[in-house]
């Protein structure tokens, strides 16, 4: 009954008070060897140090401050620039594609009809101007060559006949002149003798008069015969010269016919009866340098004059045709500086200028083509011949009218991390601060900083990767970078 009463008296609050007193007594007894105040102070110092470290680590994890040692700074090869005002050109970014330079497209067509004997160039092969691409057998060419040789032979024969006749008539005239002059001299001697006898009164006057008459007739006969022979010569040579002239006209016509078929002066000079051209061999030559992009012939096929046998494209320069929407046209000008970046080579900047704006708007896309001509030179990113291939996609950055921006930095200073864009600002010789920035893209590899940076601050443009690595090391608990 006594026990039951005690249990009744010890209600729940009293039980908790009794247990608490017991725990206090036990704790005091266990710590009898070390003073409580000393233990508490020591424990307090330990807690305070732990809380401080935790707090510091928490701050470091979210800190934008990065410090380096001198060795780290030197190894990082950090480069700095001063943010400040500058004249900038806003950039207009337009999509586009690489296309063939239409001014450098060559259609290879024969000037005669004929049957394809052989094909020398195939799809994808490079060609040089004047290089043989195929051979035809042409009856038309054979006839033209034979006619030329005939005309040339006739001219040669006519010239030889003329020269022979000139020589013949010259000899006849000379002989006639000699004979008749001799006759005149004889008659003159007779006349002089009769005249002398007459003066000596040895002879009568009649023989002298007859001698004089014979002398005059001889002179007259000489002039007459020479004149007649010269007239006959002139008439004959005139006919021969007319014939030579006519033959030369025919030869020139035959020569021009061969020239229209593609033969050169060298070909005509070397043309003879044994030449393959006479048998109708027509060599089709490449009109210019380029690459065969299309072939439309096969051996044995008959082709007409003017048929399109090959298409050759000279890809040493190509066009990049950008598409500008109607609302963007006022920002696009001929001669505007342009930087092209292709999807295939994102690290390569190809510089040029807007050379032409289409006069017609594409009815489907509602855009106007802006043409930039690019030299198709070998690239380090892809050391292949003619790396700019028609059909490649990309974009072009066009410079608009200049204006003054208050804070401008190189694009290389930007660090992109997921959706964040920031820069590292030097706050002390070995200390840098991460600074989130709001930017606007401008031309020339620069950006305008709209927020987050002031003019005159020193910004890192080289070595940002090292600073980013040091920042990450701190976030992962690797300790301070210094």
| Secondary structure (DSSP) of 125-145 | -EE-TT-EEEEEE-HHHHHHH
Confidence of residue 473 (pLDDT cuts 50, 70, 90): confident
Convert the pLDDT of each residue in 83-133 to its tens digit: 999 998 888 999 999 999 999 999 999 999 999 999 999 999 999 999 999
Q: Which CATH superfamily is domain 70-100+316-475 in?
A: Efflux pump adaptor protein, beta barrel domain (2.40.30.170)
At 393 the pLDDT is 98
Convert the pLDDT of each residue in 89-101 to its tens digit: 888 999 999 999 9
The CA-atom distances, in angstroms, between 205 and each of 186, 190, 192, 372 are 19, 13, 13, 112
At 278 the pLDDT is 94
The CA-atom distances, in angstroms, between 419 and each of 300, 447, 449 are 65, 17, 17
Burial 233-249 (b: 16+ CB within 10 A, else e): beeeeeebeebbeebbe
CA gap 350, 377 in Å, rounded? 10
Task: Give CA torsion, residues 464, 466, 468, 471, to 10 deg.
Answer: -140
Sole residue written with tokens 């009218």 = 401
Convert the pLDDT of each residue in 316-352 to its tens digit: 999 999 999 999 999 999 999 999 999 999 999 999 9
The mean pLDDT of the chain is: 85
Structural tokens at position 222: 């000489």
Structural tokens at position 364: 């489907």
CA gap 281, 294 in Å, rounded? 24
Q: What is the mean pLDDT of residues 239-257?
A: 96
Q: Per-residue DSSP letters for 19-60?
A: HHHHHHHHHHHHTTTS-HHHHHHHHHHHHHHHHHHHHHHHHH
| CATH number assigned to the domain covering 106-137+281-313 | 2.40.50.100
- Whether 412 shows a pLDDT value over 90: the answer reads yes
In three-state form (DSSP H/G/I as H, E/B as E, the rest C), the secondary structure along 399-414 is: EEEEEEEEEEEEHHHC
At 63 the pLDDT is 60
Say what the pTM is. Answer: 0.60
At 39 the pLDDT is 39
Structural tokens at position 262: 């593609």
At 475 the pLDDT is 67
CA gap 365, 370 in Å, rounded? 14
- Whether 300 shows a pLDDT value over 90: the answer reads yes
Q: Per-residue DSSP letters for 296-352?
A: ---TT-EE-TT---EEEE-TTEEEEEEEEEGGGGGG--TT-EEEEEETTEEEEEEEE
Angle at 275 between CA 271 and CA 276, to 5 degrees: 130
């Amino acid at each position: 009954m006594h026990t039951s009463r005690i249990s009744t008296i010890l209600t729940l609050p009293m039980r908790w008070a009794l247990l608490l007193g017991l725990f206090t007594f036990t704790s005091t007894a266990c710590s009898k060897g070390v003073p409580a105040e000393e233990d508490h102070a020591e424990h307090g110092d330990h807690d305070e140090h732990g809380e401080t470290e935790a707090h510091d680590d928490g701050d470091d994890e979210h800190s934008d401050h990065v410090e380096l040692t001198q060795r780290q700074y030197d190894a990082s090869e950090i480069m700095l620039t001063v943010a400040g005002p500058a004249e900038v050109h806003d950039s207009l970014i337009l999509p586009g594609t690489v296309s063939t330079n239409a001014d450098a497209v060559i259609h290879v067509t024969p000037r005669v009809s004929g049957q394809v004997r052989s094909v020398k160039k195939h799809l994808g092969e490079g060609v040089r101007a004047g290089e043989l691409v195929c051979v035809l057998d042409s009856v038309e060419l054979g006839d033209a060559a034979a006619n030329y040789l005939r005309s040339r032979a006739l001219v040669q024969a006519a010239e030889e006949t003329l020269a022979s006749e000139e020589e013949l008539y010259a000899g006849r005239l000379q002989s006639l002149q000699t004979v008749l002059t001799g006759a005149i001299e004889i008659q003159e001697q007779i006349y002089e003798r009769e005249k002398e006898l007459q003066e000596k009164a040895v002879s009568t006057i009649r023989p002298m008069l007859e001698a004089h008459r014979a002398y005059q007739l001889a002179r007259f006969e000489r002039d007459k015969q020479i004149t007649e022979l010269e007239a006959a010569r002139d008439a004959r040579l005139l006919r021969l010269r007319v014939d030579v002239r006519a033959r030369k006209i025919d030869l020139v016509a035959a020569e021009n016919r061969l020239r229209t078929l593609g033969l050169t002066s060298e070909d005509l000079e070397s043309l003879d009866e044994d030449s393959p051209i006479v048998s109708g061999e027509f060599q089709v030559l490449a009109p210019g340098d380029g690459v065969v992009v299309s072939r439309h012939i096969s051996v044995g096929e008959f082709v007409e004059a003017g048929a399109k046998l090959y298409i050759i494209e000279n890809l040493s320069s190509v066009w990049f045709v950008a598409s500008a929407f109607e609302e963007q046209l006022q920002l696009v000008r001929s001669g505007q500086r342009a930087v092209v970046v292709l999807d295939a080579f994102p690290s390569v900047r190809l510089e040029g200028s807007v050379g032409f704006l289409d006069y017609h708007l594409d009815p489907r896309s509602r855009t106007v083509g802006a043409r930039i001509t690019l030299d198709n030179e070998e690239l380090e990113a892809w050391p292949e011949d003619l790396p700019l291939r028609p059909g490649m996609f990309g974009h072009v950055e066009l410079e608009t009218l200049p204006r003054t921006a208050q804070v401008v930095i190189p694009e290389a200073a930007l660090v992109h991390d997921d959706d964040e864009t920031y820069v590292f600002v030097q706050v002390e010789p070995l200390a840098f601060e991460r600074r989130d920035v709001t930017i606007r893209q401008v031309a020339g590899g620069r950006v305008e900083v709209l927020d987050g940076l002031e003019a005159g601050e020193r910004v890192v443009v080289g070595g940002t990767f090292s600073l980013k690595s040091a920042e990450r090391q701190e976030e992962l608990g690797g300790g301070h970078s210094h």
